[in-house]
Amino acid sequence: MRNRDRKIFGVFLAITLILATGVTLSARSTSKENKGAMEITKEEFGHTPDGRTVNLYTLKNANGMTVKITNYGGIVTELMVPDGSGRLGDIVLGFDNLKEYLAGDPYFGALIGRYGNRIAKGKFTLDGKAYSLATNNNGNHLHGGIKGYDKVVWSASEVRSPEGVGLKLNYLSKDGEEGYPGNLNITVVYLLTPMNELKIDYAATADRPTPVNLTHHSYFNLAGAGKGTILDHEVMLNADAYTVVDASLIPTGEIRKVSGTPFDFTKPKTIGAEISKVEGGYDHNFVLTRKAYGLQMAARVYDPTSARLMEVWTTEPGLQFYTGNFLDGSIKGKCGLVYPKNGGFCLEAQHYPDSPNHPEFPSTILNPGATYRQQTVYRFDIKK
């Protein structure tokens, strides 16, 4: 080999070696990440006014996806998911500390019950007996009343299963609480899986017939909480009808086809595309198109700025799509960021609103001896 050729060969060899080492190193670090254990840690979050200690649990999977949940209200306070370039970002609205949650908020990240959504005038009749629930929303009952499950301390235990890490929450809702009949024993399990899914499993039993409609109330902004509005997010809802509501958001009983209306999300479109045609913005129960019982995809949301994708799967018949219409910039959230109108959206899997007053809707009555169950999965990915 001539001197010049030797030099060229040497440089070639050096480059090959550097590249090979780089590939091996990155492969090693990836395999280490993949093997990284699922983690759950616990820290104190604060105290309620009556002196009860409240904790904050951090669930983490091998991809770095992190979910923080407090046993006050079962609130998801933080949800860190990767964007298109692998950077983690917090995509749920909320607060940095318990004090701010205690001061009251529009159900950020909370578990909702005994009845998610509205019951007209808080009144219904069951087995010939009239019941009067606490009213907290224009004379109607909303999200379980004055002190719903979003404002109680749940007992908590950590879950480690082959499926993921999680938090098991339990609450005994006493007979008469907020006007509801019967004791209701509720268990909710939040599970973070290696597939970047947040699974929520609900179960409940009662000692008297009672309406039950549990749901989860995270406000998502896939671009990042506090980063503007969600109007440019693209949404697909697997729903060919919705329940028509009156001015106070109580169903009239009519189930209307979405086709030809601003409620048609059967093909993806931006939230902002037709929101101005809907008075107040979207705050409606969509009737999911179902061929069978079981877990089924209900919604898919995509944010082009971050490339984040979210799918919602559920066993429920309905999905409340709420576009944060009552946010007005007056709430300062995490890191001092302000949440503007339409700064987040909720996809609350549930039975239809006011079902106890609409025998034609799927029943929400739980009888003693039976078990209420629902499962909802929020699944995160990026568009490739």
Question: Any idea which residues carry the catalytic annotation?
Answer: 217, 348
For 208-226, b/e burial (b = at least 16 CB within 10 A) is: ebbbbbbbbbbbbbbbbbb
Q: Which of 82, 106, 224, 281 binds ligand GLA (CB under 6 A)?
A: 106
Question: Which residue number, 43 or 246, has a Cβ lying nearer to ligand GLA?
Answer: 246
Least distance in angstroms from the C-beta of 168 to ligand GLA: 25
Question: Which residue number, 144 or 181, has a Cβ lying nearer to ligand GLA?
Answer: 144
Q: Scanning residues 223 to 252, which ones bind ligand GLA (CB under 6 A)?
A: 249
> Is position 90 an interface residue for ligand GLA (rule: CB under 6 A)?
no
Least distance in angstroms from the C-beta of 282 to ligand GLA: 10
Structure tokens at 105: 């908020």
Structure tokens at 157: 């235990």
> Is position 346 an interface residue for ligand GLA (rule: CB under 6 A)?
yes
Q: Count the residues of the shown chain that bind ligand GLA, applying the rule CB under 6 A.
A: 11
Question: What's the CA gap between 249 and 228, in Å, rounded?
Answer: 26
Q: Residue 110's closest CA among 88, 95, 90?
A: 95
Least distance in angstroms from the C-beta of 112 to ligand GLA: 8
> Is position 326 an interface residue for ligand GLA (rule: CB under 6 A)?
yes
What DSSP letter does each residue of 1-48 carry, written as one string? --HHHHHHHHHHHHHHHHHHHHHHHHHHHHHHHHHPPPEEEEEEEEE-
Question: What's the CA gap between 338 and 308, in Å, rounded?
Answer: 22
Least distance in angstroms from the C-beta of 41 to ligand GLA: 30
Terminal CA-CA length for the chain: 47
Give the 3-state secondary structure of residue 357: helix
Least distance in angstroms from the C-beta of 220 to ligand GLA: 13
Question: What's the CA gap between 366 and 158, in Å, rounded?
Answer: 28
> Is position 320 an interface residue for ligand GLA (rule: CB under 6 A)?
yes
> Is position 113 an interface residue for ligand GLA (rule: CB under 6 A)?
no
Q: Which residue is nearest to ligand GLA (CB)?
A: 106
Which residue stretch of 10-18, 69-77, 318-326, 367-375 sits at the interface with ligand GLA (rule: CB under 6 A)? 318-326
CB-CB neighbours of 323 under 10 Å: 27
Where does this chain bind ligand GLA (CB under 6 A)?
A: 106-107, 117, 142, 249, 283, 320, 322, 326, 346, 348
